[in-house]
Amino acid sequence: MLSDSPTISRFSIHSDHHHLHRCSYNHHSQSHSPPSPPPPSHLRKIQILRLRRNFQISAIDAAQPFYYESKISDCIAKSKTLKIAIVGFGIFGQFLAKTLVRQGHNVLAHSRTDYSAVATELGVSFYSNADDLCEEHPEVILLCTSILSTDKVLRSLPLQRLKRSTLFVDVLSVKEFAKDLFLQILPSDFDILCTHPMFGPESGKNIWKNLPFVYDKVRIGHDEARVSRCQKFIDAFAKEGCIMKEMTCAEHDQHAAESQFITHTVGRILEKLDLCSTPINTKGYEKLLDLVDNTSSDSFELYYGLFMYNKNAMEQLERLDLAFESLKKELFGHLHVVLRKQLVGSGGRHLGFSHEAPVLSKLPRNGNGNKLSLNGNENGNG
Ligand code: NAP
């Protein structure tokens, strides 16, 4: 907003032209000498055009003509880097910071824990105090908090200290929850971009090429500066070669429950088996060991968040349970046929695989209920 006061505007204009100086300090000149009659309108237009051609910045404490503010916002739109404040500087926040700093963005951070030392190493400015962070007026607030703490952290931020149009971005692994929270808590002036980099410090350790990045432009203002700021943030991932997937938060959660939640669950089940490397590991087994490594390096809180805050997760957990039961039934069904033949004497010589045993079909797709069927009979009466 253009300020009327010569003292509160952030920039002033200096020029070798006197009339420009008079224009910038209009308030002062009016108080010392009687106002002169305004020039005819066509002369005023010429004067303004000259002023626009000749200004340069020299101080930051005087009132500005409106066109100057629009120039500043043009400059911001043209600059390729952003001032990004990461809130929640744990494993994932630090992981993202490395790449953002390498790309030349000005990265700030704030977290519950004091990460000053690690921040310095990464080239990030750390703020223990959220007020101090917000007074730096970052263009983007990037929330990298745990799913469970995001509500609390977001409500504790001094939003009134930020610039009115700040872009809020999150990276939570559940998206409808994040979107609803943002829409509920943030004033309508703030822009909202919900994202989920589908990789982490393990899978994206060396390179992000061909790793999926999901985003949903939930609320982005129409003016050029806002659109371009949002695009610049998205481009940070595109530049690294990520596979860019724009989809709604609801679509993301459906897909993520079927893929990511299943992956984490299987990894954590296998972790409970305490699997060890053997002298004769197959490739498949090596992959399972990797899966255990990958999933166990994430916090349990993250896994619990995937379950609690994605409404599709419970169905997947039940399907996994049913699938396991179904597989056991299939195995035991074959065993039953073989044993029966042995007992009645007709198949005593044959102890191999029996094609007479009931075959359990695959589970119906999501949303079709969880009924199991035998021999492909959907009613399960086979
Ligand atoms: P996380 O355990 O999900 O989150 C750790 C972060 O949350 C830390 O910054 C921690 O702050 C903060 N936090 C936790 N409880 C808090 C509380 N009560 N008050 C304030 N802050 C609190 O682990 P993460 O792997 O770093 O994940 C961060 C976010 O990224 C999550 O939302 C996750 O879904 C998302 N994500 C993670 C991955 C991944 O591979 N790890 C991938 C994609 C997206 P302090 O460290 O200061 O305590």
Q: Strand order of the sheet with strand 140-143? A: 125-126, 106-110, 83-87, 140-143, 167-170, 191-197, 212-219, 243-246
pTM for the full predicted model: 0.74
Beta carbon of 142 within 6 Å of any ligand 1 atom: no
Atom of ligand 1 nearest to the CA of 202: 40
Beta carbon of 145 within 6 Å of any ligand 1 atom: yes
Atom of ligand 1 nearest to the CA of 148: 15
Question: Is residue 207 packed enough to be buried (19+ CB in 10 Å), middle (13-18) or exposed (0-12)?
Answer: exposed
Work out the average pLDDT over 77-98. 93
CA of 174: how far to CAs of 117, 279, 331, in Å?
Answer: 30, 39, 36
Of 143-152, 166-175, 189-198, 339-348, minimum mean pLDDT range: 339-348
Highest mean pLDDT range out of 76-80, 133-137, 366-370? 133-137
Q: Contact 6/62 with Cβ under 8 angstroms?
A: yes
Question: Is residue 55 packed enough to be buried (19+ CB in 10 Å), middle (13-18) or exposed (0-12)?
Answer: buried
Q: What is the mean pLDDT of the chain?
A: 81
pLDDT-derived band at 2, boundaries 50, 70, 90: very low
Q: Which of 86, 146, 172, 177 to mutate to test the pocket of ligand 1 (most atoms within 8 A of CB)?
A: 146
Separation CA 6–CA 10 (nearest Å): 9
The full DSSP string for 6-34 is TTT-S-EEE-SSHHHHHHHTHHHHHHHSP
Alpha-helical segments (H) within 163-261: 175-185, 224-238, 249-256
Tokens of 238: 């595109």
Centre of ligand 1 to C-alpha 303, Å, is 11
What is the reported pLDDT for 357?
66
Q: Which of 95, 112, 127 to mutate to test the pocket of ligand 1 (most atoms within 8 A of CB)?
A: 112
Q: Contact 81/103 with Cβ under 8 angstroms?
A: yes
Give rounded-to-5 percent helix, strand, coil for the chain: 45, 15, 40
pLDDT-derived band at 35, boundaries 50, 70, 90: very low
Centre of ligand 1 to C-alpha 166, Å, is 22
What is the reported pLDDT for 34?
44
CA of 184: how far to CAs of 156, 177, 187, 188, 297, in Å?
Answer: 14, 11, 8, 9, 32
Q: Which residue has the higher pLDDT, 48 or 360?
A: 360
Give residue-wise pLDDT tens across range 164-211. Answer: 999 999 999 999 999 999 999 999 999 999 999 999 998 899 999 999
- H/E stretch holding 3: none
What is the reported pLDDT for 367?
57
Q: Which residue has the higher pLDDT, 82 or 72?
A: 82
Beta bridge partners of 141: 85, 168
What is the reported pLDDT for 78?
64
Atom of ligand 1 nearest to the CA of 152: 19
Beta carbon of 73 within 6 Å of any ligand 1 atom: no
pLDDT-derived band at 341, boundaries 50, 70, 90: confident
